[in-house]
């Protein structure tokens, strides 16, 4: 029960606690001096310093003081509130105070750490921050938290191996899960691979049982050929609008017999086979696809583009063809979201010196996977695209599009001009982490299939950290694969179609001039197509490399800064399959924790609107990024109304209101001015 | 009469427009399309008109039109519940557009009677040209001139020489939105130099800060804090103006220069990205402070920084509700 005293803030009784943080703070800031400078500030009844305020002892001291001195406000000068605000709020609550009567001054990150070389100035700044916190604390108001509901269901976006694994974990826990995939089938990049390092199991042989499990699990609903349109709400209670694209084939009726395919007159390049083979306008991406239903490619279907044909409808005995399907939006309510939208392979056309796209026999590692795969366009025979001959000399070039700042793009993934995602063709600064092993695997596979072939690998460093990885790489060396340190500057195509590479071998210092029948570019992994817009919809931040930012680089690798949204797989950063699966497990566990709660406490931040001042100009409504404030017609004219559950407390409305009709809870003008004034008085 | 091209129009054209306004008002009131029509009628002093609110068709006869119709009538619109007809000049309609964008009135509740504008006169200029001690008893608009009669004098003045400063540099004399347009668009275009619009503020900006400050102080010193500028501005519709707030009391009426300055700086910031340079505030000021120097500069800043001219796009968004990544932010401290 908050007392009257707390409510009015009249007779503030403030306790000030200055933390040493071991030597983290005390090594620079004169903690005693800061403590003493606060002793006689208005409203302060007790000041103390602690070695570790967050420790048991430190916390108990504060709890005792709250009782003994009847404190009604607490100021803690220590580390960032991001670290311990929760700890101390809980402490206040346990001691019978409203948790919002706490104010923290960050004298570690803001003083001792940044001003380590100037103890005096750091101390003065710490005093200023403490005084300003006391000034604000005097005006703090108790706030009551509201409880939000929890929908015990999860949405997983992206049906690669990460999304599939997360869904299976969740489904196994009995949690209803929606798996949203942009393409007609789940599977992601793993479905395109032939074998996987370091054990060389067949990729689809290990993936497709999992895909079938997804299809059979009664708790998992696969929404394929669908994309996220809009996300509203907060942890526990998201409303996601999913756009379902038309397949033109009824998923329930289609049994995958393939009669339609045989008769369809339109042949187009097969994107699943990296445009190296062909498929029909009605197709299934690969035989093991889930859902196992066909789909009509409406860009190429003769009926859908020219209004004539309907052959597939005529041959389909089950009447599964539905040309009149249209796209529609389905709204799904979930308590948590896992983002697993994977990666996009780097497009080497951004490095014209390697001739990808111009020289037919220069291919990428993903092209290689399709060429060597028994289900691929050449039925597993490594035929080079130029003339369908089996190459006798194959070179691999590492770090194509990775570890490069050459073109000036440091891998931000953002176009400075337009803010849109940079094309997949801009080289990135980071190491893509998997391509060394991919090449080790592929070079090995060439040797395995064609023992007489000569295989060369041009590299900067071979990075093979992982269980069994180094051993696998050494095995390749023993098989006779030649590893050359030194990245070639250029590939030349000779008249006979052979590819000439001149490079410096950094180990011997020699200049090498070699010719190959085929060159494989070990393309890096870049953020998936459309991630910028996707992140905006979800309000997620991206790191400098363009991938989604995790909650904490060490301690919250599967979380995001937004409660209730989690990450799995390559969308966070390039990684291999085992790491993707492991992260999927972590994300699933985190989502399950959210879903297991009965309700979620919502921080009571947000706008309070003074109707007498509001002129209903809608500026706040137009600016609120969450649609959480709306102008409604009342008998006093149009007035803004806050929609509490949707509000994230960002404060945009408060800052934008031209008539100052909006006060932000916990960040009122008077609190902030008092804080600013107090700092100015110290300096 | 030939097509009008001068900076003022002749008696016939003016008469025809006046007739057109009266007819439209009467017609709209009769058909019940509108509940009230806002226009101008002759004032009690020469060179003056006054806003009039007509509710009966037969009263439409009181409506007048001419270079003395200086008020921006759109400032009354948010106060009415029903459907309103209103006469607007090129600048007035831009504030009207802003009122719609800012949710103060709805488009279907206003019938816009637009007139391509040839400019209105500035009485201070007339006074200066005439000599301040001479009292005008009677004024008439004849062709492109004013005929002024007083005790013992009769003076003819070219209207183009006594135009309001905002009119001299007006860029949009023809209303950008209207339901009825009365008059010929072509006549509004001549005799003005929109390019020179920012000359004055540019020259002023070149002065040393000290000189600018002392000029500003000197101008503002005379402000009697009547807030007529605020009342005249259609875009100052706050229920409680910051200048009237008691808690916190931003501005006092007795402390002097700094409060007056704060008021004017506050006012101009509150119309940033909204002000259309209609000049209503300037003309309302009883002590003749050159408020346009402030508002015009703000308009220039907005135009230069955001390529935004307020009140032109009824389907657009208010400037403050838009954000582009390339928006300059170097003015943010
Ligand atoms: C050539 C090559 C060979 C490789 N070989 C190996 C190997 O041998 N061993 C190994 O461990 N790893 C290997 N990898 C790495 C492996 O492919 C990845 O670790 C793994 O695929 C990552 O899975 P993921 O689910 O995170 O991403 P993805 O496989 O990219 O799956 C992401 C899924 O999300 C979907 N999606 C994307 N955006 C959206 C959206 N907005 N809405 C809905 N759905 C969306 C995509 O369609 C896709 O289905 C290889 C990679 C490459 C490029
Ligand atoms: S994993 Fe290897 S090839 Fe890929 S970027 Fe890193 S070092 Fe280069
Ligand atoms: S604080 Fe205001 S702008 Fe921000 S989310 Fe809440 S209502 Fe919207
Ligand atoms: S001066 Fe500003 S705050 Fe006051 S009424 Fe005008 S716009 Fe509103
Ligand atoms: S500030 Fe003055 S010029 Fe600008 S719109 Fe208002 S009255 Fe017109």
The last residue of a domain, from among A498, A526, A554: A526
Give the nearest partner residue to B317 out of A622, A631, A656, using CB atoms: A622
Which token pair is B289? 């402070």
Q: Does A623 touch chain B (CB under 8 A)?
A: yes
Q: Does B103 touch chain A (CB under 8 A)?
A: yes
Do A62 and A51 lie in one domain? The reply is yes
Examine residue A671 and state whether it is found in any structural domain, yes or no: no
Residue nearest to atom 30 of ligand 1 (CA): A342
Mean pLDDT of A268-273: 95
Examine residue B150 and state whether it is found in any structural domain, yes or no: yes
Do A308 and A376 lie in one domain? The reply is no
Mean pLDDT of A346-359: 93
Q: Does B246 touch chain A (CB under 8 A)?
A: no
Asked if pLDDT for residue A50 goes beyond 70, the answer is yes
Q: What is the CATH number of the domain that holds A561?
A: 3.50.50.60
Examine residue A252 and state whether it is found in any structural domain, yes or no: no
Do A521 and A537 lie in one domain? The reply is no
Do A435 and A498 lie in one domain? The reply is yes
Give the tens place of pLDDT for each residue, A145-187. 888 899 999 999 999 999 999 999 999 999 999 999 999 999 9
Contact A659 B104 (CB under 8 A): no
Give the tens place of pLDDT for each residue, A658-680. 888 999 999 998 899 999 999 98
Low-confidence ranges of chain B (pLDDT < 70): 1-11, 187-194, 333
Do B87 and B181 lie in one domain? The reply is yes
Contact B240 A656 (CB under 8 A): no
Reference A368, options A288, A442, A476; nearest CA is: A442
Q: How far is the CA of B246 from the centre of ligand 4 (A)?
A: 15
Give Cβ neighbours of residue A29 (< 8 Å, ≥ 6 apart). A107, A111, A112, A119, A122, A123, A126
Total domains present in chain A: 5
Examine residue B333 and state whether it is found in any structural domain, yes or no: no
Asked if pLDDT for residue A415 goes beyond 50, the answer is no
Mean pLDDT of A210-220: 97
The residue whose CB lies within 8 Å of the most ligand 3 atoms, and thus the one to mutate among A605, A619, A621, A642, is: A642
pLDDT at B188: 67
Contact A658 B239 (CB under 8 A): no
Do B181 and B317 lie in one domain? The reply is no
pLDDT at B190: 56
Q: What is the CATH number of the domain that holds A615?
A: 3.30.70.20
Examine residue A321 and state whether it is found in any structural domain, yes or no: no
Asked if pLDDT for residue A641 goes beyond 80, the answer is yes
Do B113 and B140 lie in one domain? The reply is no
What residue in A sits closest to B102 (Cα-Cα)?
Answer: A617
Mean pLDDT of A100-110: 97
Contact A619 B239 (CB under 8 A): no
pLDDT at B7: 38
Do A469 and A503 lie in one domain? The reply is yes
Our CA-based measurement puts residue B253 at a distance from the nearest CA of chain A, in whole angstroms, of: 20
Do A42 and A167 lie in one domain? The reply is no
pLDDT at B12: 73
pLDDT at A374: 93
pLDDT at A5: 40
pLDDT band at A423 (very low <50, low <70, confident <90, very high): low
Which residue range(s) make up the domain with A579? 153-245+328-343+527-595
Do B205 and B114 lie in one domain? The reply is no
Our CA-based measurement puts residue B324 at a distance from the nearest CA of chain A, in whole angstroms, of: 9
Which token pair is B304? 């230069």
Give the nearest partner residue to B103 out of A612, A613, A618, using CB atoms: A618
Percent of chain A with pLDDT over 90: 86
Do A104 and A172 lie in one domain? The reply is no
Do A504 and A625 lie in one domain? The reply is no
Instruction: Give ipTM to 2 decimals.
Output: 0.74
Do A125 and A214 lie in one domain? The reply is no
Do A227 and A288 lie in one domain? The reply is no
For B259, phi then psi, to 5°, come to: -70, -40
Contact A659 B325 (CB under 8 A): no
Do B170 and B273 lie in one domain? The reply is no
pLDDT at A421: 44
Do B266 and B220 lie in one domain? The reply is yes
What residue in A sits closest to B272 (Cα-Cα)?
Answer: A658
Which residue range(s) make up the domain with B139? 123-162
pLDDT at B197: 82
Do B171 and B45 lie in one domain? The reply is yes
Do A8 and A23 lie in one domain? The reply is yes
What residue in B sits closest to A611 (Cα-Cα)?
Answer: B239
Question: Rounded to an integer, what distance in angstroms lies between the CA atom of residue A680 and that of residue A132?
Answer: 9
Examine residue B36 and state whether it is found in any structural domain, yes or no: yes
**Mean pLDDT estimate for chain A:** 92
Do B275 and B298 lie in one domain? The reply is yes
Examine residue B55 and state whether it is found in any structural domain, yes or no: yes
Q: Measuring from each residue's beta carbon to the nearest atom of ligand 3, which residues come in under 6 Å?
A: A 606-607, 624, 626, 628-629, 642, 647-653
The residue whose CB lies within 8 Å of the most ligand 2 atoms, and thus the one to mutate among A427, A436, A466, is: A436
Asked if pLDDT for residue A261 goes beyond 70, the answer is yes
Do B27 and B129 lie in one domain? The reply is no
Total domains present in chain B: 3
Q: How far is the CA of B276 from the centre of ligand 5 (A)?
A: 6
Examine residue A672 and state whether it is found in any structural domain, yes or no: no
Question: Rounded to an integer, what distance in angstroms lies between the CA atom of residue A589 and that of residue A556?
Answer: 12
Examine residue A679 and state whether it is found in any structural domain, yes or no: no
Contact B102 A659 (CB under 8 A): no
Give Cβ neighbours of residue B46 (< 8 Å, ≥ 6 apart). B136, B137, B138, B139, B148
Examine residue A680 and state whether it is found in any structural domain, yes or no: no
Question: Rounded to an integer, what distance in angstroms lies between the CA atom of residue A473 and that of residue A454?
Answer: 17
Asked if pLDDT for residue A310 goes beyond 70, the answer is yes
Q: Does B326 touch chain A (CB under 8 A)?
A: yes
Buried b (16+ CB within 10 A) or exposed e, A334-348: bbbbbbbbbbbbbbb
Examine residue B97 and state whether it is found in any structural domain, yes or no: yes
Contact A615 B238 (CB under 8 A): yes
Do B133 and B255 lie in one domain? The reply is no
Question: Rounded to an integer, what distance in angstroms lies between the CA atom of residue A680 and that of residue A683?
Answer: 5
Do B177 and B278 lie in one domain? The reply is no
Do A352 and A211 lie in one domain? The reply is no
Examine residue A217 and state whether it is found in any structural domain, yes or no: yes
pLDDT at A303: 96
pLDDT at A1: 35
Do B277 and B156 lie in one domain? The reply is no
């Amino acid at each position: 029960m908050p007392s009257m005293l707390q409510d009015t803030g009249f007779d503030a009784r403030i306790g000030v606690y200055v933390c040493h943080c071991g030597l983290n703070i005390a090594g620079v800031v004169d903690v005693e001096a800061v403590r003493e400078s606060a002793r006689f500030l208005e409203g302060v009844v007790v000041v103390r310093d602690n070695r570790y305020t967050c420790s048991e002892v430190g916390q108990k001291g504060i709890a005792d003081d709250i009782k003994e001195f009847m404190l009604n406000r607490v100021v803690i000068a220590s580390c960032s509130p991001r670290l311990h605000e929760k700890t101390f709020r809980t402490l206040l609550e346990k001691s019978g105070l409203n948790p919002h009567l706490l104010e923290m001054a960050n004298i570690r990150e803001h003083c001792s750490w940044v001003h380590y070389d100037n103890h005096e100035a750091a101390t003065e700044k710490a005093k200023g921050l403490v005084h300003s916190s006391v000034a604000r604390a005097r005006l703090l108001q108790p706030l009551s938290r509201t409880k939000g509901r929890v929908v015990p269901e999860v949405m997983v976006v992206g049906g690669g191996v990460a999304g599939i694994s997360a869904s299976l974990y969740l489904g196994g826990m009995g949690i209803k899960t929606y798996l949203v995939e942009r393409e007609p089938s789940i599977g992601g990049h793993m479905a395109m691979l032939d074998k996987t390092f370091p054990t060389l199991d067949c990729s689809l042989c290990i993936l497709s049982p999992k895909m079938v499990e997804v299809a059979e699990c009664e708790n998992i609903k696969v929404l394929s050929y669908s994309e996220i349109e809009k996300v509203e709400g907060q942890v526990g209670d998201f409303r996601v609008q999913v756009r379902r694209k038309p397949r033109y084939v009824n998923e329930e009726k289609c049994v995958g017999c393939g009669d339609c395919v045989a008769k369809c007159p339109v042949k187009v390049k097969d994107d699943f086979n990296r445009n190296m083979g062909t498929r029909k306008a009605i197709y299934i991406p690969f035989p093991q696809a889930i859902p196992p239903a066909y789909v009509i490619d409406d860009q190429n279907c003769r009926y859908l583009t020219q209004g004539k044909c309907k052959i597939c409808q005529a041959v389909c005995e089950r009447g599964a063809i539905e040309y009149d399907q249209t796209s529609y939006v389905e709204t799904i309510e979930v308590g948590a979201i896992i983002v697993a939208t994977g990666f996009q392979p780097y497009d080497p056309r951004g490095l014209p010196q390697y001739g990808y796209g111009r020289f037919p026999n220069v291919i990428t590692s993903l092209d290689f996977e399709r060429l060597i795969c028994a289900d691929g366009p050449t039925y597993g025979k490594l035929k080079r695209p130029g003339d369908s001959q089996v190459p006798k000399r194959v070179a691999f070039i590492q770090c194509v599009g990775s570890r490069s700042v050459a073109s000036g793009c440091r891998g931000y993934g953002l176009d400075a001009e337009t803010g849109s995602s940079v094309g997949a063709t801009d080289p990135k600064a980071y190491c893509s982490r998997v391509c060394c092993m991919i090449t080790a695997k592929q070079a090995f596979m060439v040797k395995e299939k064609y023992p007489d072939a000569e295989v060369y690998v041009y590299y900067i460093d071979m990075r093979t950290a992982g269980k069994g990885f180094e051993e696998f790489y050494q095995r390749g060396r023993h098989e006779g694969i030649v590893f050359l340190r030194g990245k070639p500057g250029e590939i030349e195509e000779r008249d006979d179609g052979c590819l000439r590479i001149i490079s410096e071998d950094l180990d011997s210092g020699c200049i090498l001039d070699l010719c190959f029948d085929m060159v494989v570019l070990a393309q890096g992994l870049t953020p998936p197509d459309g991630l910028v817009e996707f992140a905006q919809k979800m309000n997620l931040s991206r790191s400098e490399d363009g991938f989604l930012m995790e909650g904490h680089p060490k301690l919250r690798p599967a979380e995001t800064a937004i409660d209730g949204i989690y990450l799995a797989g390559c969308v966070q950063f390039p990684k291999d399959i085992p790491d993707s699966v492991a992260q999927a497990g972590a994300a699933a566990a985190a989502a399950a924790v959210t879903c297991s709660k009965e309700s979620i406490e919502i921080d009571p931040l947000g706008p309070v609107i003074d109707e007498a001042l509001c002129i209903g100009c809608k500026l706040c409504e137009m600016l609120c990024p969450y649609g959480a404030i709306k102008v409604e017609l009342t008998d006093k004219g149009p007035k803004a109304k806050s929609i509490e559950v949707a509000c994230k407390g960002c404060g945009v409305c408060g800052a934008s209101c031209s008539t100052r009709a909006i006060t932000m809870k916990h960040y009122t003008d008077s609190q902030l001015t008092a804080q600013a004034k107090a700092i100015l008085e110290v300096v | 009469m030939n097509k009008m091209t001068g900076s003022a129009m002749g008696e016939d054209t003016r008469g025809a427009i006046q007739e057109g306004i009266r007819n439209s008002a009467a017609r709209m009131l009769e058909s019940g399309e509108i509940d009230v029509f806002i226009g101008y009628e002759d004032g009690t002093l020469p060179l003056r008109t006054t806003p009039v609110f007509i509710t009966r068709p037969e009263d439409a006869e009181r409506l007048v039109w001419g270079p003395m119709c200086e008020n921006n009538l759109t400032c009354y619109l948010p106060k009415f519940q029903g459907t309103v007809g209103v006469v607007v000049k090129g600048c007035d309609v831009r504030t009207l557009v802003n009122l719609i964008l800012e949710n103060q009135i709805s488009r279907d509740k206003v019938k816009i009677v637009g007139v391509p504008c040839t400019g209105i006169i500035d009485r201070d200029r007339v006074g200066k040209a005439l000599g301040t001690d001479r009292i005008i008893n009677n004024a008439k608009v004849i062709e492109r001139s004013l005929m002024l009669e007083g005790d013992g004098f009769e003076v003819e003045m070219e209207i183009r020489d006594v135009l309001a400063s905002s009119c001299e540099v007006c860029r949009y004399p023809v209303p950008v939105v209207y339901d009825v347009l009365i008059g010929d668009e072509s006549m509004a275009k001549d005799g003005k130099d929109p390019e020179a619009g920012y000359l004055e503020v540019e020259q002023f900006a070149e002065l040393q800060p000290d000189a600018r400050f002392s000029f500003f102080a000197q101008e503002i010193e005379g402000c009697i804090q009547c807030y007529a500028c605020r009342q005249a501005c259609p875009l100052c519709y706050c229920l409680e103006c910051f200048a009237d707030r008691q808690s916190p009391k931003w501005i006092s009426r007795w402390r002097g220069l700094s409060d007056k300055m704060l008021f004017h700086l506050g006012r101009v910031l509150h119309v940033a990205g909204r002000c259309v340079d209609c000049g209503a505030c300037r003309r309302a000021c009883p002590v003749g402070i050159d408020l346009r120097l402030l508002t015009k500069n703000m308009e220039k800043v907005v135009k230069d920084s955001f390529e935004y001219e307020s009140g032109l796009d009824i389907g657009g968004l208010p400037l403050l509700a838009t954000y582009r990544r390339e928006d300059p932010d170097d003015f943010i401290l």
